Every structure is written in C-alpha cells, then in structure tokens.
Amino acid sequence: MTARLIDGKAAAAALRQRIAAQVARVSDLGVVPGLAVVLVGEDPASQVYVRSKERLAREAGMVSIAHRLPPTTPEADLLDLIRRLNADPAIHGILVQLPVPKPLDERTIIGAIDPAKDVDGLHPVNVGNLSIGGEGLLPCTPSGCMMLLRDTLGADLSGLRALVIGRSNLMGKPMAQLLVRAHCTVTVAHSRTRDLADECRRADILVPAVGQPRMVRGDWIKPGATVIDVGMNRLAPEPGQEKGRLVGDVAFEEAVEVAGAITPVPGGVGPMTIACLLDNTLTAACRAEGLARPAVAA
C-alpha cells in the first residue's frame, strides 16, 4: 500500500487565498492588518523564514514590517522595540523569530508582547487560554497540523490514539493540547521515553516534532496511520551542491509504504505554519478593531 500524500503546500495556498479575500474586505472598512516580524541575529535559516513570512503577508494584502537587529542587541533595546510595537495601532501581530541569540531570555521577551498581538500564541496568557479552552491566539504550527489532520481524516477525530513526539513550548505541548481538545487519546513522547517504536506502533495519528532526521522508521508506524511530520532537518550538502536536502523526522520512503496518509518535507507542515501566522494576524486585527471576521466562500 502507498500512503496518500497530504499536500500542505496546496492547503496553505488555499488558506492564504481565503485570508487575502478577507483582508480585502476589512481593508475596505479601513483596517489593514499589520504584522511585525522581529529577527535578532543572522541565523541563515531564520533569515529565509522571515523573508518568506514578510512576502506572504504582503501577498495577502497585509502590511508587513521586519525589524532586523544585530546579534549583540541588548535585551533592553529589544524590549523597547516590543513596547513600541505593542503601542502601535497599525501593528496587530508581533512575532519574534526563535531561537533568540544568547544571552537574551526567550521568556522575558515573549512575556513582553501584548497577548492580543502575540500571533505565535506563545505568551503565557495565550498558553493558558489554550489549556482552558478560551479565546486566545493558537500557536501556528500546531494549528496547521490540526488543519491537515481534519482535511485528511474529517472534522471528527474523537477517540483516535495520537502520539506527539516532542514536548517543546513551540510545538509538542500545544499540539498535544489541541489533540486533547479534538477528543483524541493523546500520548506525549520525548527523549526519556522508554520504547518509542512501541509507542509509535499504537498511534492512529503520529506527530513527530523532534529535529532528528529520519528517526521514525517505517516499521514503527501502524499500518494506515496518519503521519504529520513536523521535523525540519537540513542534511549536509552533497558534493557539488550548495545546500543540503531538507528532510523530516520520518524516514519518508519507508513510511510511505505503511502509513495511510503522510505529509512530505518540504511541502507539508512548513507552508501551513506561515498561512496560520497570517490567519492569526487577521484574527488579531479584527478583534483589535471590533470587526467580525468576514465570511468568504471556502
């Protein structure tokens, strides 16, 4: 059997198109959603992501402003920028690209963002709202994974066994929360998990978010399972190539023979992350301006 491919690139393009139509409607009412992306340092991968966030936000009709700061930026300067963005009525969403260089403290920085503008969903208020089912902003990658799961399996995921591998604040923990909210039976695995292969074999939904290239082997996967591969790992370049290949946490060629459906890397979860960021920015803009989110045909 060969798994169905879950086309995150197409799903993200469709979502961005819907968002662009809604942005056009709110713009007619005088509200142009504004996103500020803050990048501290010169990490090449982060630079690529920040550029693509900027470009896609503009393509959706938003105002997008990137703030690029040197790696040695003092924390006080970064906090000052965040305070100005919090106070700027043209900015509805603020994202500080992670990880931030040492000695900057991630928690202090995220905690300084106005929760209503925290389009990454990482501020403690939004994390708390996710946990108690309130009206916060949801983290982008987990929301994107949920959308792909529902596109694949239908709206009702009740009772399915889900395994999330990874327990980071950015991905593993919020993913587990969203799956619980969707009535799945959820297990969270991590580096101390005893028999990971065995845990995987029980999962109807498998979500590896580890950062270990091709760690999840084909024979770890329950036949017919849905695999959402969050890992983004850049391999060393082949001779004569400038850049190494991007691979996920799953040994794709093996997994595709066993799984029922699987996301590729690239072209799976990654593009959904950015589309969800734009979605959060539009949500934040509508809430800030007291507008209902315009309905558009799906």
Ligand X SMILES: Nc1nc(=O)c2c([nH]1)NC[C@@H]1CN(c3ccc(C(=O)N[C@@H](CCC(=O)O)C(=O)O)cc3)C=[N+]21
Ligand Y SMILES: NC(=O)C1=CN([C@@H]2O[C@H](COP(=O)(O)OP(=O)(O)OC[C@H]3O[C@@H](n4cnc5c(N)ncnc54)[C@H](OP(=O)(O)O)[C@@H]3O)[C@@H](O)[C@H]2O)C=CC1
Binding residues (CB under 6 A) for ligand X: these are 48-49, 95-98, 120, 140-141, 232, 246, 265-267, 270-271, 273-274
Helix or strand or coil: residue 258?
Answer: coil
Minimum CB distance to ligand Y, residue 286 (Å):
24
Label each residue of 231-242 as H, E or C: CCEECCCCCCCC
259 vs 200: CA distance, rounded Å = 12
Task: Confirm or deny that 41 is annotated as ligand binding.
Answer: no
Active-site residue flag, 9: no
172 is in an annotated binding site: no
Judged by CB, which is closer to ligand X: 205, or 232?
Answer: 232
Residue 209 contacts which entry, ligand Y, ligand X, none (Cβ below 5-8 A, type-dependent): ligand Y
Return contacts of 195-203, CB within 8 angstroms, 24+ apart: 196/165, 196/220, 199/163, 200/163, 200/165, 202/161, 202/163, 203/161, 203/162, 203/163
Site for ligand Y in 230-269 (CB under 6 A): 230-233, 269
Query: Annotated catalytic, 177?
Result: no
- Of 114, 120, 229, 249, which residue is the catalytic one? 120
Closer to ligand X by Cβ: residue 199 or 229 = 229
Of 97, 117, 173, 204, the active-site residue reads: 97
Residue 255, both tokens: 């997994």
Query: Is 168 annotated as a binding-site member?
Result: yes
Closest CA to 147 of 276, 249, 22: 276
Q: Where are the alpha helices (DSSP H) in the chain?
A: 8-28, 44-59, 75-87, 106-112, 124-132, 140-153, 172-181, 196-201, 252-255, 269-289
**Spatial separation of the C-alpha atoms in residues 130 and 202, rounded to whole Å:** 26
Q: Which residues ranging from 90 to 149 are in contact with ligand Y (CB under 6 A)?
A: 141
120 is catalytic: yes
We find the least distance from the C-beta atom of residue 70 to ligand X, in angstroms, to be: 18
Structure letter (DSSP) for residue 268: S
Whichever of 52 and 191 has its CB closer to ligand Y, that residue is 191
Q: Is the CB of 34 or the CB of 231 nearer to ligand X?
A: 231
Degrees (nearest 5) of the Cα angle 243, 190, 237?
10
**Looking at the annotation, which residues are catalytic?**
53, 97, 120
Question: Which residues bind to ligand Y, rule: CB under 6 A?
Answer: 141, 165-168, 170-172, 189-193, 196, 209-212, 230-233, 269-270, 273
Binding-site residues sit at: 166-168
